[in-house]
Amino acid sequence: MSTTRLPVLFLTDLVVLPGMVVPIELDDAAKAAVDAASSHSDGHLLVAPRLEDRYASYGVEASIVQIGRLANGEAAAVIRAEQRVRIGSGVSGPGTALWVEAEELGTTGHDSEEVTKLAAEYKALVVATLQRRDAWQVIDTVNKVTDPSALADLAGYASWLTDAQKRQLLETPDVAERLRVLVAWAKDHLAETEVNDKIADDVREGMEKSQREFLLRQQLAAIRKELGEDEPDGAQDYRTRVEEAALPDDVRKAALREVAKLERASDQSPETGYLRTWLDSVLELPWGTRTTDTTDVGAAREVLDADHHGLEDVKDRIVEYLAVRSRRAERHLEVVGGRGSGAVMALVGPPGVGKTSLGESVAKALGRKFVRVALGGVRDEAEIRGHRRTYVGALPGRIVRAISEAGSMNPVILLDEIDKVGADYRGDPAAALLEVLDPAQNHTFRDHYLEVDLDLSDVVFLATANVVETIPQALLDRMELVQLDGYTEDDKIAIARQYLLPRQLGLAALTTDEVRVDDDALREIAADYTREPGVRQLERLLAKALRKAATRLARADAPEQLVIDTSTLREYLGRPRFTPDAHERTSVPGVATGLAVTGLGGDVLFIEASAVPAVEGSGSGSGGLTLTGQLGDVMKESAQIALSYVRAHAPELGITDTAVLYGPIHVHVPAGAVPKDGPSAGVTMVTALTSMAVGRPVRGEVGMTGEVTLNGRVLPIGGLKQKLLAAQRAGLTTVFVPKRNEPDLDDVPADVLEAIDVRPMSDVAALVRQAIEPAAAQAGSLAA
């Protein structure tokens, strides 16, 4: 290897590899090195990187191509690096430049198989990298390079290599080692480039899609504007709608806050949809719309009478409400949104008595809008108060939706089947109704979705229920209870004649000239074919009879008019389903007829008592009491009390043989599949046990109700009106009731009191003596 003396040019910010042609600025040291090379070494000099901690060990021998000036006037030179050299010790030389010995390095192993494979692999990586940058001219230059060492030194032009990496290449004279390092670096860079390009493509596609959607929306808006179909869907349109709407001040402020959020939000934000839905819900509410109540009390009563027969308590209450409203309006005392200005009534009664349809009549009488809210089976508290806006698919509660549907702020809202509201892990809807139905609080009702105060004080709420017991006490306390106890037989005939029959004739496309139904036939249908407090089954039977009549009129030999009377009723409806059986059931000793109240109204209840013969060796002679009929705890206790009373007062009740009272006794209440409970069967149980003990039956036309104490006092019970109606339907003519229930007889219809001999009693012994057949009468009946 030969050595030569060359002036040294140290470069701080540039690493030059063999084969590179680069321009350099000439400071004083560089100018001295270039001048020395031009004057004393045939234009050759040594270019090496300037290191901070040491002198460089390797550099390149370069020739000066051109000396001149840059565009800014600074002196510069263009040099071409020719070969890699090892830097030796410093030597003396002419001029002010630094001279060193440069040792030329041999170029062996270029044609080895390993170097050839490495060169091919590196060239492929370089070409792939350049293809991603569309540098096709550079690719042609690279493809023309065949020398592995020169190919490796082309990395000096690579912008993705750091100066430290380029110095490492400069200090690696072995071609194979240099190519191995470059292959690893090129693979890493290509992988990073692919990832970056993929990310850039995804971002570019997203931006292009957003820009495309924006342009399409602008074009669509322009097209709609030209067609005159511009829709108010922008935030500015919502602001205009809010400012023009007749909103309360606090609602307007809340709406404008949400409009401001909408104006700041982008169209792609999910919050935009929530804000638009909330604003639409608020703007759809009829904030400034109220209907004017009818002030003509007489006309309102006529409307109620025309729609419903009977129900005097409900009609009186509505008329009273109207009368008060009318007087307040005349004296300019009406208060909109004040405490306690609303009305909340609960209509409680058995099915089919007209509770739900009464709500429509109330709205018609008041001149208000009517909305029905079905609460049967509702178990989610959010159904009443609404869902929080943070939930997907959130909506206002049923109360807010009902007002929006009504189109006014003072409608009549019917809360149907309020006794069938349930509770589970989602909350208790009945608890949410406490604020809704409280006239002292509902003027500031706040729905969870709207989160603004809503005035419900001018809404007339009507609630319907079948039984009071399942309504929470706190909720019941907020409502005015109006009891609907069912219809008498005369009421049913009147309802059928005035309402049911005309409606069913219309549904069957018949007229009164084609089909006529006698009142006697209607009475028999109500008495023998139905046993219900309402009129639903009665209407179904009328529909059945009219369908059969329409079928007969379709025949060729049909008469001009069909008459449905008692003689032909069986042809249309078949045999009667119900016949009075109290006389038959009580024809043997130990059976008494009681009266009960269920969710379907009043009903008769038979109590059977029987002495069970003791079996020898069975141990049953201990005087045990067996109770059957699916009885509740209270009714079981009534049986124990009745037996104890009869045992203690046997002589007073006319029982001479008391042994039967201390043997096994079985008390059964028929209809064993139906659960029964309550204390009002106490006197009936005493009567049945006494009848069993004396061996005389209870009078067949007698029914009774009342709670009994251990000393024989008859305590008051509930549902007296319903029980007397049931007694009338069952054909009873004498009913014993507690003395303390005598004031409740004022609520019983006069025709029922005329048909039934109601006897108030305070002592059960006196009741039993009147209810059981006398001994002489029994002997006479046996002789006959």
Tens of pLDDT along 221-240? 788 677 765 554 555 577 88
Neighbours of 278 (CB within 10 A): 21
Residues counted in the chain: 784
Residue ranges for the known binding site are 349-356
Kindly indicate whether the domain formed by 3-104 is annotated with CATH number 3.30.1340.10. no
**Is residue 784 predicted with pLDDT exceeding 70?**
no
Alpha-carbon distance of 18 to 757, in angstroms, equals 132
Please report where in the chains the tokens 């935009």 appear, as a residue. Answer: 272
Name which residue leads in pLDDT, 697 or 94.
697
Neighbour-count burial of 715, counting CB atoms closer than 10 A to its CB (0-12 exposed, 13-18 middle, 19+ buried): middle
Give yes or no: 117 in active site. Answer: no
CA nearest neighbour of 160 among 134, 194, 186: 186
Q: Are 452 and 400 in contact (CB under 8 A)?
A: no
pLDDT of residue 338: 47
Q: Rounded to whole angstroms, how far apart are CA atoms 81 and 9?
A: 12
Give the whole-angstrom CA distance, residue 504 versus residue 547: 9
Quickly state the pLDDT bin for 600 (edges 50, 70, 90).
Answer: low
Give yes or no for a contact between 525 and 729, defined as CB atoms under 8 angstroms apart. Answer: no
pLDDT beyond 80 at 427: no
Measured distance CA(513)–CA(561) in Å, rounded:
6
Q: What's the CATH number of domain 297-483, 3.40.50.300, 3.20.20.70, 3.40.50.620, 3.30.1950.10? A: 3.40.50.300
d(CA 479, CA 56): 100
Identify the pLDDT of residue 345. 83
Strands (E), 466-557: 480-483, 515-517
Could you give the CA distance from residue 697 to residue 775 in angstroms, rounded to a whole number? 10
Sign of CA dihedral 539, 541, 545, 551: positive
Q: What is the mean pLDDT of residues 342-368?
A: 82
Question: What is the band of 735 on the pLDDT scale with cuts at 50, 70, 90?
Answer: very high
Full-model pTM: 0.60
Token output for 613? 């013969």
In this prediction, residue 52 has a pLDDT band, given cuts at 50, 70 and 90, of confident
| Stretch (H or E) spanning 714 | strand 714-715
Q: Fold for 489-573, please state it.
A: Helicase, Ruva Protein; domain 3 (1.10.8)
Q: What is the mean pLDDT of the chain?
A: 83
What's the CA dihedral at 646, 649, 650, 651 to 10 degrees?
A: -160
Q: Which of 451, 700, 667, 454 is nearest to 593 (CA)?
A: 700
CATH of 582-783, picked from 3.30.420.40, 3.50.50.60, 1.25.10.10, 3.30.230.10, is: 3.30.230.10
DSSP run (H or E) holding 665:
strand 665-668
| pLDDT at res. 714 | 92
Question: Between β-strands 99-104 and 75-91, what pairing exists: parallel, antiparallel or unpaired?
Answer: antiparallel
User: Tens of pLDDT along 761-775?
Assistant: 999 999 999 999 887
**Residue-level pLDDT at 108:** 61
Please tell me the predicted confidence (pLDDT) of residue 579.
Answer: 67
**How far is residue 464's CA from residue 360's CA, in Å, rounded to a whole number?**
13
Asked if residue 569 lies in contact with residue 541, where contact means CB atoms within 8 angstroms, the answer is: no
Pairing of strands 343-348, 460-465: parallel
Active-site residue, selected from the candidate residues 149, 638, 680, 691: 680
**Residue 470 scores a pLDDT above 90:** no
Confidence of residue 583 (pLDDT cuts 50, 70, 90): low
The pLDDT value given to residue 1: 61
Tokens of 316: 């009186």
Instruction: Tell me what percent of the residues of the chain surpass a pLDDT of 90.
Output: 9
The pLDDT value recorded for residue 228 is 67
In the annotated binding site for ATP, the residues are 349-356
DSSP per-residue letters across 285-301? S-TT--PPPP--HHHHH
453 strand-pairing partners:
446
pLDDT-based confidence at residue 618 (cuts at 50, 70, 90): very low
Q: Are 469 and 634 in contact (CB under 8 A)?
A: no
Residue 680 annotated in active site: yes
What is d(CA 444, CA 398) in angstroms, rounded to the nearest whole number?
A: 16
Give the chain's radius of gyration (CA, Å): 53
Neighbours of 644 (CB within 10 A): 13
Helix (H, G, I), strand (E, B) or coil at 590: coil
The rounded distance, in Å, linking the Cα atoms of 742 and 474 is: 29
Is residue 304 within 8 Å of 315, Cβ to Cβ?
Answer: yes
